[in-house]
Amino acid sequence: MGSQIGEIYKVSIFGESHGTAIGCVIEGIPAGTKLDLDLIRKRMAQRKPGQGAFTTPRQEGDRFEILSGFFNDQTTGTPLCMMIKNHDTRSKDYEKTKALLRPAHADYTGAIKWHGANDFRGGGHFSARLTAPLVFAGAIAEQLLDALNVKVISQVESVGAVNCKSLAEYDDIMPLLDQFDKTPLLIHPDYEASVLEEIENARNALDSVGGVVETLVLNMPVGVGNPMFDTIESELSYGLFGIPAVKGVSFGTGFELSKMRGSEANDAFIIEENVIKTKTNHNGGINGGISNGMPLWFRCAFKPTPSIAKPQDTVNLETFKAEKLEIIGRHDPCVALRGAVVVKAVTAIKIYDLIRKEMANG
């Protein structure tokens, strides 16, 4: 089963969207860590549904309960188990259409893989609901990274045809990091109205829209990562593709590098305040799969929410006949909106794990 991430800071996810509960087991939190519960609640609130017209109206408080590995307000060093009970499920929305394969969902692949025993309600274990425990684990990793002065910032860079200013274009990113720490949506306020209008237009058309989440990792130590198959790119991508709806990851200038000449794409080395840096950052802070000290910089492409109200062609898995499907239920018109804090969380998990592995190797 592939619902685990990390080697030293290891996170295992459990549960289903409409089951009794979801949660995670985290190994590798240093003993004696005073968890910042306010930070965890803040990140969980940025992800949770039911916050407005542009997210699913499903009402889940996402109140977490720590079952083990936490005593006298600090971690014990043993596995920490966290659980979130599901409440506002409305499973009846899925009963009438359970034999109809929802396009772009995992209904068909899950049914075949587990011989029809899969929990289809709300997507079961494939649901974006499972990102709640990821955000919990990511908030702890964020706190642990903060002690190392490593910062992760993510934003919604684009939705549909609306593009926001890239994080790489800011001369000073720290004010934006502080601003995003206080808002429910990780969108720059200058672009929020345009982004929300694009989402509203899709929703009014009984449709959905995709988006791109951009991330920077600041103060990254030099020398983290490995060549070939254990590069920072491959390690991060492994985690990021575990987020439902992520269909693409690109680092630095990404695919635009293929249109450049070497003289344009190469990041020239310079010395600034007695520190070796690069003049540009087309390679996203990575050379040979290893961090070079510049900000790690990458983007994640989120596909449009597959659950839409428009009639769609599908197949009935029981009758093997073509049918029309009209999805009933409560769904995000743009998953990238809440996806930004999930990308931030997964990034924190993977980066903290990579740094810990580097420390273990001396």
Q: pLDDT tens digits, residue range 52-107?
A: 555 555 555 689 999 999 999 999 999 999 999 998 666 666 666 788 888 998 88
Would you state the pLDDT for residue 284? 98
Give one DSSP letter per residue of 172-218, joined into a string. --HHHHHHHTT-SS-S-HHHHHHHHHHHHHHHHTT----EEEEEEEE
We find that the CATH architecture of domain 4-360 is: 4-Layer Sandwich (3.60)
Residue from 70, 67, 90, 86 nearest 78 by CA: 70
Would you state the pLDDT for residue 125? 84
Comparing 98 with 342, which gets the higher pLDDT?
342
Assess contact for 55 and 337: CB atoms under 8 A.
yes
Residue from 117, 120, 116 nearest 95 by CA: 120
